[in-house]
Each structure stands twice: as structure tokens, then as C-alpha cells.
Chain A
Amino acid sequence: MDAVRTKKGMSILSEEPILRLEGLTKRFGSHVALGDVTFAVERGEYVALLGPSGSGKTTLLRSIAGFEIPDAGKIFLSGQEITRANIYERGIGFVFQNFALFPHLSVKDNVAFGLRNGAKRLPNDEVLSRVLQTIAMVGLTGLEERGAAQISGGQKQRVALARTLVMQPKLVLLDEPLGALDANLRLRMRAELRQIREQLGIPFLHVTGSETEALAMGDRVIVLDQGRIGQFGKPDEVYNRPATPNVARFLNRYNVFDGALDGEVFASAYGRFAFGVRMASARSAYAVRYDRLVAKQAGTVSRAPAIRVNYVASEYLGAAIMHFFETNDGKVVEVEHHLSNGPPSAFSEGEAYDLTWTAEDGIVFG
């Protein structure tokens, strides 16, 4: 936010962020899909946009591309307002979640479509050389004549990317680009996406519902919460210092307890917890990361903070084990035990345990 404010006053064009949104608002009936969204993407930056389904992330992306017209607010591309500009005038590439390839065309014709049918049409030999070059860049050489319906999911993803990149867009928007791929392929495409982007230097805005993907891919991460920006920062900032209770929840790495701040401690239904960090937030809650909790035999814990739970089940993750506990009123509390910290303890189902952590690891919102 601060970066945006200072940038606003500057008039040097090269200092203008590639994309700037000011108070973007979009309603569908009474539902607010986007509420006063303001942020800026710097040149050459990879920004990941994280949000659960229904958080407005696709609406935001579609408004930037021009598929939706916002009710209020402005969109600037390199300092030029494009809020109501025609889609084809924007110079923004869009990669769809389901790839949206033209099924009746070959790989080559899919990639060439924009150059042949777009606003500026190029001579045929230039089209061909650019198309082949882009196809080579995404590693599809040899598949040029293959039909778009006859290639695998990962290959479709690359064609969709090549089709967008061949247009040399100023900004590329990706709508859950890896969502339709299987887990192995998703990991490989992550690395490849980043590599291709670094090669081209084009800023990417990558929408995802996966917190690991957002943290791994983004130079910076925007967390969208019910159409509003919950947090915008570097991945480690977002991870270690979530700005709101909901951001902590979306990260899927925090146990979040409801309650209220009471002087120097946090009063929750499960006890009074001391804390290390306080984040200013409209909603109050207490968050502590899964891997900061330690489970002890019930009654053996003297130091606070601690919480009494019953053991439910465990899940083996390879380098770590997730233990699931339940409080008396049915709230699930997760504990992650890294196996590098020694062998896991054996818990028996239904037994009572005390979960404890150091006060410094507790984050309070309020």
C-alpha cells in the first residue's frame, strides 16, 4: 500500500508500475465480488494472487483483462488508464484454467491465431518464425502439426502459454494455470513457468487457490479475502506474519483460536495465552503455526500457554507427520512434527494431551 502511495506522486514514466489498480469494485447483484481493491504490480514482478474460491480472484483477473467491466475504480497499465478499454487494445495476455485451446486447430495454428487474426496482422513468414520460436521456448518442438485435442494436459498448458506469449503481452494473467494438471506435473510446470518468465522478463499475475503454489511462485503474494486485499507482501512476510486471522486460515499452516485481547494476554475459550507478536486487525484472534506446537501427556505441562485436547489421528507426510487433535467442543487442532527433530511420539486414540508452545510464537490479531 505504501509503495503505491509514493509511486503515485512520481511522474517519470519508467517508474510507473506495470499494473496499478485503484479502488476496483465489482458487484453481482447484492454480492460484492471486489471491494475497493488497490494494489500495484512492479515491472518484471511475479505476483501470486491467493484466495479461497469465492474470494473474487477470478473476477479481479477478468476485470484486468477486460472480460468484466468494474462498477467503480480504475485500472492503469504502464500509467495509462485501461478500465474501459477494448480487450484487444490492452496488450494483456490471459491463460485460462481449462486452457481454452481452439480444439479444431493444430498446435501451430493455435499459437499463430493472435498474430494472424489479431488487431495488427503480420506477414506470414514473420508469423511462422515467431510461432516456431515460441513453441520451441515452451518445449513443444515436434508437435506443431498435432491437433489441439490430441495432446496431453501438460502439453495443452504449454500451448496455452505459448499462444499468449507469442503476442508479446505487457502483462500475463494466469487463472489457476496449474489447477487442471496432476500433482507431479504441477510441480514441474511451477519451475518451468518461473523459468520462462525470467527469460522474458514479462510480469505475471498468477491466481491460485493453493497456498503452497502462491508462496513458491510469487515474488510477492496478494491474499484476497472476500473481495478485499487481506495482505500483500513477500512470501516469507505473509507466511510468518499473516496480517489478518483469515489470511492465517488461508495459509493452512496456522491453528486459529477465537477470543479477545485482554491487556497483555489473549482470552480464548481454551485458556489465556501470552503472545509474541501483535498484528493490528479489525477481527481479533490468536494464531500459532502447526509446527510450533508440542504435544505432551495431559497434566505434565507446567508452563503456559497450553491447551487440553484429545488425540484423533495422524498423517504421514514423508519429512513430517501431521497429528490431529480435538478440543472438548470439537475444534480440530493440528500439530506438525518434523522428523528431523527426532522420531514421532506415539499417541493413543481418545487419550487426553496438552498442546503447548512458546509465547513468542503466538500471533495476536486485534
Chain B
Amino acid sequence: MSSIEAVVSKTDQQPDRGRSAALRSYLLIAPSVIWMALFLILPLAMIVYVSFWTQSTFKIEPKLTLDSWQTFFGSDTYLNSLWTTIRIWLIVLISTFVLGYPTALFVGLFVRNKTLQTALLVLCVIPFWTSFLIRVIAWRPMLGKEGAINILLMKFGFIHQPIEALLFTELSVVIGMTQIYVVFMVGPIAFMLGRIDPNIIEAARDLGAGFWRILRKIIFPLSLPGVVVGAMFVSVMVLGEFATSAALSGRKVNLLGNIVVTQVGSLKWALASVVGVILTVIMGFVIAGLLRIVDLKKEL
């Protein structure tokens, strides 16, 4: 009798327990949902909305119009800055990969001592202990006409005239951004490489494959999730950049981020919102594209 009662009460409790479990998971997810809604969805919707407002010289009113969008797509200056942004993003993405992958390969694969591996990765992060602006501006005395690189090159007789193209050009912006963002490429790749079982590489060697073959057929495919994560970090940061280009290009290189800053500075909220929406859409496409390369959920 008592056992039957136990069974009955157990079945009675079942849906109840299900409900409390569901409640618990809602409670756990609630803070992040509220946070995302307040600080991501809402501002995003707001930006899209404001981009259609009517802007006059000193004020902005919620009367819907396409004016700001037409201004953006009708102006060579703005369109040029769109292409410059995409070009610089692609160049920096490639240069961080070209510089970052071998570094990650060394740290993640050739250094098998875990302590040394961590020490080397920390070494990569040390520049971040100084402020972003100092790191950017520190490139000026390096690249300038009378900067360290020119002085050294002249002293050793490689050149007779200082190279002026080093500073206040697109090149200096690319150099500065690559230095700042390369570590975001190195970290995820080194992490993935560190997880490769050394026996797999030995097996490939035993089967007769040389170093470059192994790199191309085994190591690179296995590190691809790290490359994608690194590319996502670098892309999002470079696409939203304005400080490096402002400090190292002498205002010659105008990225979309610089336009947002100037427009907001002159209280042109509507046009700033248009640029913001365009940037967000580009980032969305970039991330969606990168996620198509690998299934990160499966890999990580």
C-alpha cells in the first residue's frame, strides 16, 4: 500500500519538478537576456531608428526621412571612406594572420614546455599593460621622418634620404593596427595548436609526409577554428577603429569610425547613425561568413 502511495505521489510530483526546473533555467538566463536587451538590442534598434530622423543644422527631430542615407550614398567622401575601411580591414586581417600564424605555430607547437608556452603568451600580452593611445602614439617617434627606423637605416647606409612614406600614410595605420591586434590572432591559434596530439604529427611523419605537407594537410586544418576566432576578434576591432587612423595617418585616412566620431562631435546624430548601421551590417556579414568556415560549436 505504502509503495503504491509512493509511486502515485511521485508521478504527481513529476510535472511539478519539471516546472521548477524550467523556472530555474529561466532565472539563470534572465540577467543576460535583460542585459543584452537593454544594452545591445535596444541601442541597436535606436540607432536604426535615429538614422531615419530629420537632421537640421542644430537639431534633430523624429520625423522619418531618407535624407541621411542619401547624403551618405551620394557623397564620394563617405563612399571612399567605406572602401578605405574595407581595404584596411582586409590588409590588417591578412597581415595579422601572416605574422600571427608562425608566431602561434612556434608557441603552440614547437614549444612543448607548458610553462614556457604560458610565459611566451604572457609576453605577447605585455604591450597591453600600457594604454591604447600610448601604444599608438609610440609609433610616431619610430616611423617619423627623423624617427628611429629612418635614423638607423641612414646610419647603416641603406638609404640617403629619410623615407617619408612611413608615417602619416595608410602604411603607418596598417603597421600600427597590425602591432596592436596581432595578439588577438596569436592567442586563439596557439590555443588550438596546443591541443593537437603530438602523436598525430608523428604518425604523419611516419607515413612519409614532409613538414610543409603536414602543415597544410594536418596542422592548418586542425587550427582553423583558432584562425576563425582570431579573425573575428581582429575584424570586429579593426572595423570599429578610429583612434589608430586618427593618430598615425595625420587625418589622411578616414575610416567609418572616424566619420562617426566627427559626426557625433558636430551633433549630426542622424548621419552618425547611418554609418553605425552600415558598420554593424558589415560586421554581421563578416562574422556570418567566418562562421560558415567552421562549426565552432563542434570544435570548441
Contacts and interface: CB of A to CB of B under 8 A. Distances in A.
B221 interface: yes
A100 B197 contact: yes
A98 interface: yes
A273 to B, nearest CB: 47
Interface stretch (B9-17, B41-49, B204-212, B252-260): B204-212
Contacts of A66: 206
Interface in B183-206: 197, 199-200, 202-206
Contact of B208 (A96, A98, A118): A118
Given A100-B203, A113-B207, 9 more contacts: A66-B206, A88-B205, A92-B206, A94-B203, A98-B199, A100-B202, A104-B222, A120-B208, A163-B203
B251 interface: no
Contact of A96 (B202, B214, B222): B202
B213 interface: yes
A88 B208 contact: yes
B202 A114 contact: no
Contact of B222 (A103, A163, A164, A167): A103
B217 interface: yes
A346 interface: no
A94 B197 contact: no
A230 interface: no
Interface residues of A, number: 24
Contacts of A103: 200, 222
B207 A163 contact: yes
A117 B207 contact: yes
A167 B208 CA distance: 9
A67 B203 CA distance: 10
Contacts of B204: 102, 113, 117
Interface size classification for chain B: 10 to 19
Interface in A136-187: 163-164, 167
Interface of B: 197, 199-200, 202-210, 213-214, 217-218, 221-222
A168 to B, nearest CB: 12
Given A88-B208, A92-B206, A93-B206, A104 B199 contact: no
Interface in A86-131: 87-88, 92-94, 96, 98, 100-104, 113-114, 117-120
Contact of A117 (B197, B199, B209, B221): B209
15 contacts: A65-B206, A66-B206, A67-B202, A67-B206, A93-B206, A96-B203, A100-B199, A100-B202, A102-B203, A103-B222, A113-B204, A114-B207, A114-B209, A164-B207, A167-B207
A51 B213 CA distance: 36
Closest 10 CB pairs of A and B: A118-B208, A114-B207, A100-B199, A88-B208, A117-B209, A100-B203, A94-B206, A119-B208, A117-B213, A96-B199
Nearest to B214: A117
Nearest to B222: A104
A94 B202 contact: yes
A88 B217 CA distance: 17
A189 B15 CA distance: 48
A167 B207 CA distance: 8
A94 B209 CA distance: 14
Contacts of B199: 96, 98, 100
A92 B197 CA distance: 21
Contacts of B213: 117
Contacts of B222: 103-104
A288 B202 CA distance: 43
A113 B202 contact: no
A253 B210 CA distance: 46
Contacts of B217: 113, 117
